[in-house]
Amino acid sequence: MHLRLSAAFVLSLASLCASAAGTLDKIQSERTIAIGTRDASAPLAYSLGGGKYVGYHVEVCQRVADALRAQLKLVALTVNWQLVTSQNRLDLLRNGTIDLECGSTTNNRARQEQVGFAPTTFITNVRIAVRADSGISSIAQLAGKTVATTTGTTSVKLLRAHERAAGIDFKEVLGKDHAQSFLLLEQGQADAFVMDDNILAGNIANAKNPSGFRIVGESLSQEPIAIAYRKDDPAFKAAVDGAVRALMASGELERIYAKWFTSPIPPRNANVNIPMSPALKAAIAQPNDRPAEDYVRK
């Protein structure tokens, strides 16, 4: 007799097996940790080509991997970096393909039903990027315009729900990743790109003509960004959270932040120039995994 199993059932079964084994046990036996990251979420996580990933969260997760190696008393721990997308990042965590997701993922209540989050390591504001000569400076001016965002993100949903967007009719166009969404703006196929301000700044800094773009308009949402991992694995959560808290307590997290947000970064040695916000300083002083819904919307 042949049984046809749904994709959701297979995903759930794989997740249960991964949790039962324990992620720390898996890492110790295989001497390998699989980390999912992004290719166009500068300065949090992005690719320089040739399988090399860099950025603030990439470096934070490398430090977490170093802490896990020390805790497990391993001579060496191989880090396998794997490219993930907005659409598949949580599924790849849940089915055991990756052990950590270190990109630009917002911690919200819906996602907390699926995965766990380490203490917040970045807080972003969702805004819009436009061409400098567009004349657009606010949400109200998007009427009749085309707005780009990335598949699998919540940015346009936030825009449509914002009180200042009431009655404003605009067309939505989707990029498969942040690089393609920015390209839609760059090539004139979109009038605005709505996304986390750090991602907007990173794409602008690495554009061929950075001065040709501006980040404008009201903040649509203030959201916590964090490292994600599988739920229901308390030993792994304690190890990862402990490593992140140690970086915060030592001041190392702030030094890593300065390296990627207020200093020249590759490949163009551009500076995104986003000083650490008071909200992030508060999250570092009192580490927490509060979801986006707990933050006051602007």
DSSP code string of 9-62: HHHHHHHHHHHHH-HHHHHHHHTEEEEEE-SEETTTEEEEETTEEESHHHHHHH
- 175, part of any domain: yes
Residue position matching structure tokens 């959560």: 237
Residues 204 and 242 occupy one common structural domain: no
Q: What is the separation, in whole angstroms, between the first and last Cα of the chain?
A: 57
Given this model, what pLDDT does residue 296 score?
62
What are 101's two structure tokens? Answer: 């997701």
Residues with Cβ within 8 Å of 195's Cβ and at least 6 positions away in sequence, in order, are 126, 127, 129, 149, 150, 153, 155, 178, 181
Q: Which of 200, 241, 203 shows the shortest CA–CA distance to 219?
A: 200
Pairing mode, strands 32-37 and 78-83: parallel
Residues 53 and 117 occupy one common structural domain: yes
Residues 246 and 147 occupy one common structural domain: no
Residues 219 and 233 occupy one common structural domain: no
Least confident of 43-52, 58-67, 163-172: 163-172
What global pTM score does this model have? Answer: 0.83
- 2, part of any domain: no
Do the Cβ atoms of 104 and 176 come closer than 8 Å?
no
| CA separation for the pair 1, 195 (Å, rounded) | 49
| CA separation for the pair 283, 124 (Å, rounded) | 12
For residue 27, pLDDT over 60 is answered with: yes
pLDDT per position as a tens digit, 225-249 = 999 999 999 999 999 999 999 999 9
Residues 102 and 230 occupy one common structural domain: yes
Nearest 5°: the CA angle 116, 254, 38 is 50
pLDDT per position as a tens digit, 251-267 = 999 999 999 999 999 99
In terms of Cβ atoms closer than 10 Å to its own Cβ (0-12, 13-18, 19+), residue 73 is exposed
Number of domains in the chain: 2
The parent domain of residue 50 ranges over 7-121+226-294
Residues with Cβ within 8 Å of 59's Cβ and at least 6 positions away in sequence, in order, are 256, 259, 260
pLDDT per position as a tens digit, 6-15 = 444 444 444 4
Residues 233 and 251 occupy one common structural domain: yes
- Adjacency order of strands within the sheet including 78-83: 78-83, 32-37, 100-101, 228-230, 115-117
For residue 211, pLDDT over 80 is answered with: yes
265 alpha carbon, distance to own chain's centre: 18
Tell me the one-letter amino acid at 254.
Answer: E
Residues 93 and 236 occupy one common structural domain: yes
Given this model, what pLDDT does residue 10 score?
43
- 190, part of any domain: yes
From 203, 223, 243, the end of a domain falls on 223
